[in-house]
Every structure is written in C-alpha cells, then in structure tokens.
Amino acid sequence: MTLKFQNAFHKLLKLATIFTAIITGWTSIILMSNTTYNLEIKELITKMYLNQKNFIFNIKDLSLLLVKDANDRFTENN
C-alpha cells in the first residue's frame, strides 16, 4: 500500500471509530434516562442486530454460490 492510501485509510478508520463511540455513548445515555423514545430505540437496535445477522448469513450464501459458479465454469472449460 502507498503511504497516501494508508494515511487516508487511517483517517477514515479514526472517523468511523469516533462516530461509533459518540453514537454508542449517546444511545446509552438516552436508554438510561428512560425517555419516551426508549421503546422505539430498542426496537431499532433489535432491527439493526437482525439485519447484521442476516448480512453475515447472506455473505455465506453468496460465497457458496460464487464457489458453485466457479466450479461449474471450471468443469465446462475442461
């Protein structure tokens, strides 16, 4: 990797880490404060978790399909 790319990557990673820390802290404070939006926030966090879980399963399924496709193409060429 070039030095310029590494610096850009580190800046992006730092920004993502700071953003995540702020959102996590803010959410924690709001949930501990027992606001009127607690139920909606908890539902949204649950949806986010389920989407993340589905994303991982979809990557696995995509990987399997890509391997099957590669195997089919390999056997057609030979």
pLDDT at 65 over 80: yes
CA angle 45, 60, 52 (to 5 degrees): 5
> How many C-beta atoms surround the C-beta of residue 67 within 10 A?
10
Q: Are residues 29 and 66 in the same domain?
A: no
Range of the domain at 53: 36-78
Q: Are residues 18 and 29 in the same domain?
A: yes
pLDDT number for residue 1: 58
Question: 17-28, pLDDT tens digit by residue?
Answer: 999 999 999 999
How many Å apart are CA 58 and CA 52, to the nearest integer? 10
pLDDT at 47 over 70: yes
Q: Are residues 31 and 66 in the same domain?
A: no
pLDDT number for residue 34: 86
pTM for this predicted structure: 0.61
Q: Are residues 41 and 21 in the same domain?
A: no
Q: Are residues 15 and 25 in the same domain?
A: yes
Q: Are residues 46 and 24 in the same domain?
A: no
The values of phi and psi at residue 17, to 5°, are -65, -45
Q: Are residues 69 and 57 in the same domain?
A: yes
Sign of CA dihedral 12, 17, 21, 27: positive
pLDDT at 41 over 80: yes
pLDDT at 66 over 80: yes
